[in-house]
Amino acid sequence: MQIIRSIKKMQAAARQIAGKGQTIGLVPTMGFLHEGHLSLIRRAKKEADVVIVTIFVNPAQFAPTEDLAKYPRDEKGDIRKIEGAGGDIVFIPKAIDVYPEDFQTYVAVEKLTQTLEGASRPTHFRGVTTVVAKLFNITRPDVAVFGMKDYQQAVVLGQMTRDLGYPVKYIIAPTVREKDGLAMSSRNKYFTAAQRIEARCLYYALLTAKEMVESGVVAAGKIEREMRSAVKASSPSAQIDYIAFTDFATLRTIKRVAKGTICSLAVRVHGVRLIDNMKL
């Protein structure tokens, strides 16, 4: 496995791979990898000859009040995990190289970023789309794999990929969960053992929604009220940022749940902001 830190060297390596007639799969990450990330790498390996995994904690997607400095990092552990999952190249650029002095150009997807995470974190998606566009330009992938756990992000990046005409097969892979249902996230490390039990409240709320829909309830407002109760029952101090019912592709708000509706929520549990979603 090869480790590359220079943008120019990564560009040269991508040209060389393409010159050999091999396909490239890309899995962008911010590091501190868990089984969810590794599942994306394995999926990319099935789709492409060479898999490039990026590790870059992207400062452009963090607001000044957010946890950029505290974001967990484990480069050596990440590299070991990537190799075990079948990655071929690890690209680890420096922030000053990705965003050099006097950097002024950003990529923005308009409508899809105005709701859900975009409403709570107004500068977030501009940073995400900009860095992924740059990674696409640097690595020239034939396939890119993202996770359903970051549902809105996956939809936004898919829109960007189509709008800018990237010749990339775009894949959204399923969320990977712990045995107790908690969605795998790098932020889970912030919890004590007791707090982690409370963090299951998001999953319990989603299960409540799914069970209600399966029993015939379709009114989003009624389902939301029960979900809020489920969150508070598991974590009394939890702060609910939003609970939303949306169309998978357009993120349009749904008032009556239909096949394919996605239920999403964001909740702060002991100060840690978690997101999760489920297809109803």
Catalytic residues, by residue number, are: 37
Comparing CA positions, the residue from 26, 20, 18 lying closest to residue 45 is 26
**CA 224 to CA 204: how far, in whole Å?**
13
- HSE of 139, CA atoms in CB hemisphere, 13 A: 30
Does residue 99 contact residue 59 with C-beta atoms inside 8 Å?
A: yes
- CB neighbourhood size of 105 (10 A): 7
Nearest to 279 by CA among 266, 260, 252, 258: 260
The count of other CB atoms within 10 Å of the CB of residue 92 is 17
- Phi first, then psi, for residue 197 (nearest 5°) are -60, -40
> Which value, in Å, is the radius of gyration of the alpha carbons in the chain?
19
Nearest of 184, 158, 153 to residue 171 by alpha carbon: 158
